């Protein structure tokens, strides 16, 4: 594969992972979980899973950035990917929260309000 195409692929994956990571971290919060799923809050194990997956996704995103660019440039791309992802997640939660459910279909139903 030519270098340019490989770089573009790596960076696309890095941005996609940053988005996934920020979605998962956002959904550890009850208010956002409620916007996305009908139930009140994620189960305790789901919260742990979300936190773990979120952190791992962000870390993997950093590794891909480092693979794609010079080490001085990669952190800039990574930090700003996270910024962009955070804005995207906030807007998605505001206008199209149910779309984010796609990223947590694998999690069981949460606790109901009591």
Partner 1 sequence: MQQSFRQSMTWLHTWFGLVLGYVLMVAFFFGALSVFDREIDRWATPHTRFEPRPMPSYDAMLAPIFKQIVPEAHELDEARSRVGTLAPTLPVMNWAAYTTHRDPVLRLFAEFAITNNPNDPDDHVHGTLTIDPRNGTVLPHDQLKIGSEFFYPLHFSLHLEWKQLGYWIVALAALVMMAALVSGVVMHRRILRELFTFRPHKHTRRSVLDLHNLTGVVALPFHFVFALSGLTIFAGIYLPVSETMFKPQAQAHAMAEAKTKGVAFRPAGVAAPLASVDAMVVEAKRRWDARGMPGEVGFLVVNHVGDVNSYVSIYRAGSDRVALVGQAVHFDGPSGRVVHEEPPPSAVAGVNEFLTGLHLQHFKHWLLRWFYVLGGLLGCVCIATGFLFFVEKRKRMHASTGVSGARWVDALAVTAVSGMVLAALSMLVVNRVLPADLAGRADWEKGAFWAAWVLALLHALWRSAPVQQARIAPAWREQCWAVVLLAVSAVLLNWITTGDHLLATLGRAYWPVAGFDLALLVSAGLAAFAALHLRRRERQARAQPLAEPVDEPTTTSAAPEAVRA
Rule CB under 8 A: which residues touch partner 1? 11, 15, 22, 26, 29, 31-32, 69-70, 72-73, 76-77, 79-84, 86-87, 89-91, 93-95
Q: How far is CA 1 from CA 8, 14, 65, 66, 71, in A?
A: 11, 18, 18, 18, 22
d(C-alpha 55, C-alpha 81), whole Å: 14
Q: Which is nearer to partner 1, 60 or 84 (CB)?
A: 84
The CB-of-66 to partner 1 minimum distance in angstroms stands at 13
d(C-alpha 82, C-alpha 58), whole Å: 8
The CB-of-89 to partner 1 minimum distance in angstroms stands at 5
Q: Which is nearer to partner 1, 49 or 77 (CB)?
A: 77
Q: Which is nearer to partner 1, 89 or 107 (CB)?
A: 89
The CB-of-28 to partner 1 minimum distance in angstroms stands at 10
What phi and psi values does residue 41 have, to the nearest 5 degrees? -155, 150
Q: Which is nearer to partner 1, 52 or 87 (CB)?
A: 87
Task: Please say whether the beta carbons of 89 and 16 come within 8 A.
Answer: no
């Amino acid at each position: 594969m030519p270098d340019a195409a490989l770089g573009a692929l790596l960076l696309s994956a890095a941005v996609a992972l940053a988005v996934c990571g920020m979605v998962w971290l956002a959904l550890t919060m009850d208010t956002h979980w409620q916007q996305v799923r009908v139930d009140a809050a994620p189960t305790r194990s789901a919260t742990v899973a979300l936190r773990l997956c979120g952190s791992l996704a962000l870390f993997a995103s950093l590794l891909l950035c480092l693979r794609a660019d010079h080490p001085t440039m990669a952190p800039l791309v990574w930090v700003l990917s996270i910024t962009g992802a955070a804005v995207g997640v906030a807007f998605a939660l505001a206008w199209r929260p149910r779309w984010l459910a796609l990223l947590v279909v694998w999690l069981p139903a949460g606790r109901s309000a009591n």
